[in-house]
Chains A and B, each alone.
Chain A
Amino acid sequence: MKGNEAIAEAALRAGGNNYFCYPITPQSEVAEYLAKRMPEVGGVFLQAESEVAVGNMLFGAAASGKRVFTTSSSPGISLMQESISYIAGAQLPCVLLNIMRGGPGLGGILPAQSDYFQATKGGGHGDYRLLVLAPSTIQEAVDLTMLAFHLSDKYRNPVMLIGDGMIGQMMEPVEFPEKYVEDELPGKDDWALTGAKDREKRIVKSLFLDPLALEINNHELYKKYELMKQNEARYECYKISAKNKVLIVSYGTMARICQTVIDELESEGVSVGLFRPISLFPFPEKELRKEILKKNVGTVLTVEMSMGQMVEDVEKVAAGAKPVKFFGRTGGIVPSPDEVKENIKEMIRQDAAPAKRTRKGK
């Protein structure tokens, strides 16, 4: 199944029956797929006039307590930042998918990972965070899409999936669970707008004119983010061993290319491991720190399809304990396994060099 269509179907199977969208390359197939499928499941499909409107329709729709979502790509996600900030402030659940393309500006339409900052550090105004998940295969995109609805309801917080254009356009076999079972969730009876019948009226808002009330609200938000850090850090390791000289940190499709690199280097006698964050917020800090501190790891290499964004989080985790280096291509160019491999070999050569440099210094 094509990535975009698999994600669309996964959303439906997780009860995401309400979809608002605006066309943008490279993820318009999601909308095209759902335009056909949504009437079959009796859901809401609406093509809005802009991504600004899409985000705000999500805001209104989410207040009903039903599962709502949208999909878009980088410039479109930028236009939704206003509403994302409001939705986070008002503590409503919703799911957003960003099939990232190269930026800044209109940029290009080819795969990129340059919206990491936007997704994980805020994007819109104010003290808030999104829960951010990054799949590296179509199957994982399906699983994480379904999980996203659950986590969004669990924390009453927007959840964003970020994948690059390859995740959207690739074709891979996928399996959907026969029967989708979720852990129990708290009810929505205490916040959803259903009409003030036999109860007090309810207000869904992000406005707190009293600064103390706003501070209290923001502390409440951050308590949720702390819970996410405790419970929702997700990652995967590949060929991590005591022989590793280098630890690669990479996510999404880029991590798959790194796996190929690791396999090839292994056959050449060079041992490299991969740490792949699956949740980008919360970032799996403790787990990554443990790997970085292992004695055999000389250097940490972050590989991204950007000018280097996640690398700042990796540096923060390493906190100077090990050198953190970066390799990436940007603008829609996907690094080839060969160039990543060359980069690692060069790095290992340099790692051997510091001793010499020290002598020269003397």
Chain B
Amino acid sequence: MANQATTIFTRPESLNEVVTHYCPGCTHGIIHRLVAESLDELQLRDKTVGVAPVGCSVLIYNYFNCDFLEAPHGRAPALATGFKRLRPDMIVFTYQGDGDLASIGMGEIVHAANRGEKITVIFVNNAIYGMTGGQMAPTTLPGQITTTSPAGRDTASAGHPIRMSELLATLRTPSYIERVSVHSPQHIIQAKRAIKKAFTYQSQDRCFSLVEVVSTCPTNWGMSPTDSTKWLEDNLLAYYKLGLYSEPDDEEDS
């Protein structure tokens, strides 16, 4: 019997065997794995360049087994644009949080999407700044308490949280945009499908692709990982609806 044992689950080649610095209950680990599995399955690892953000995932380059660039805060889509334009034969992805992408990097992401850069953006939205210690993000929910909105986000002065997938889907340029979550096994499978699809579109030179992953931050939300998952389901998913927002075939002008 032992002779017939086969490996059915292993670490993706695209991930290094190292311990991450992420907090217990953080979903970066799952999302990293889904990206790595997609690169493995599409056999893209050895022609991929990742672009790291500023934020909790700044050290992502230590965890992935592929070439990496480390960008200034919010500028990953500009770095990705520069590299991809010179090397259209390679695969380029950015990995960005909500402070990085939706606040300081708003200009870069909108214009990269609008130019239809053939890059993949993994956008991890947990509605708070993580690395700097739990400040209000552009995606923080109304009333949500953070260190810089101690009485809860006041929409009268801070405005309403920005729905990036919906915003980017208004652009006429063809794109693939989907919002997913990784809070349950079922959702993880759906998220994997979306991430793999995004890289597939890029490898076919089809369009700009972005997968928004609604995520938790137990540490800065001040909740246990289990409570965080519940809070995500009850609150974040009510505001950030999961689903497909843009697909290149849907566009009239591809």
Contact = CB atoms under 8 A, between A and B. Distances in A.
A182 B139 CA distance: 52
Given A193-B67, A202-B67, A205-B70, A53 B107 contact: yes
Interface in B110-157: 110-111
A195 B79 contact: no
Contact of B75 (A18, A53, A61): A53
Which range contains the number of A residues in contact with the other chain?
35 or more
Contact of B83 (A64, A205, A206): A64
Q: Which of A46, A56, A196 has the most CB of B within 10 A?
A: A56
A60 B64 contact: no
Contacts of B46: 195-198
Interface stretch (B47-55, B170-178, B195-203, B224-232): B47-55
A248 B127 CA distance: 61
B82 A68 contact: yes
A66 B68 contact: no
A63 interface: yes
A194 interface: yes
B87 interface: yes
Nearest to B114: A49
A59 B67 contact: no
Given A56-B108, A83-B75, A195-B47, A20 B82 contact: yes
B90 interface: yes
A328 to B, nearest CB: 35
B72 A60 contact: no
Contacts of B111: 48-49, 53
Given A53-B111, A60-B69, A207 B58 contact: yes
Interface string B81-100: 11111110010000000000
Interface string B152-183: 00000000000000000000000000000000
A204 interface: yes
Contacts of A116: none
A60 B61 contact: no
Nearest to A44: B85
Contacts of B56: none
A194 B67 contact: yes
Given A44-B85, A195-B47, A195-B90, A60 B66 contact: no
Q: Which of A48, A52, A195, A198 has the most CB of B within 10 A?
A: A195
A310 interface: no
A56 B66 contact: no
A53 to B, nearest CB: 4
Contact of B71 (A46, A56, A202): A56
Given A57-B79, A205-B70, A64 B86 contact: yes
Interface residues of B, number: 34
Contacts of B75: 52-53, 56, 59, 82-83
A107 to B, nearest CB: 23
Contacts, number: 123
Interface string B14-30: 00000000000000000
Contacts of B58: 207
A343 interface: no
Contact of B107 (A46, A50, A194, A198): A50
Contact of B80 (A44, A50, A60): A60
B82 A59 contact: yes
A36 interface: no
A201 interface: yes
Contacts of B65: 196, 201
A66 B45 contact: no
Given A201-B64, A205-B61, A60 B48 contact: no
B49 A195 contact: yes
A60 B82 contact: yes
A44 B86 contact: yes
B45 A196 contact: yes
Contact of A195 (B52, B67, B81, B82): B67
A183 B145 CA distance: 61
Interface of A: 18, 20, 44, 46, 48-50, 52-53, 56-64, 66, 68, 82-83, 86, 90, 193-198, 201-207
Given A56-B82, A60-B83, A195-B46, 10 more contacts: A46-B81, A57-B81, A57-B82, A60-B79, A62-B82, A64-B86, A195-B47, A196-B46, A196-B65, A205-B68
Interface of B: 45-49, 51-52, 58, 61, 64-72, 75, 78-87, 90, 107-108, 110-111
18 contacts: A49-B107, A53-B111, A56-B71, A56-B75, A56-B78, A56-B79, A58-B82, A61-B82, A61-B85, A62-B82, A66-B86, A83-B75, A193-B67, A196-B45, A201-B66, A201-B67, A202-B67, A207-B70
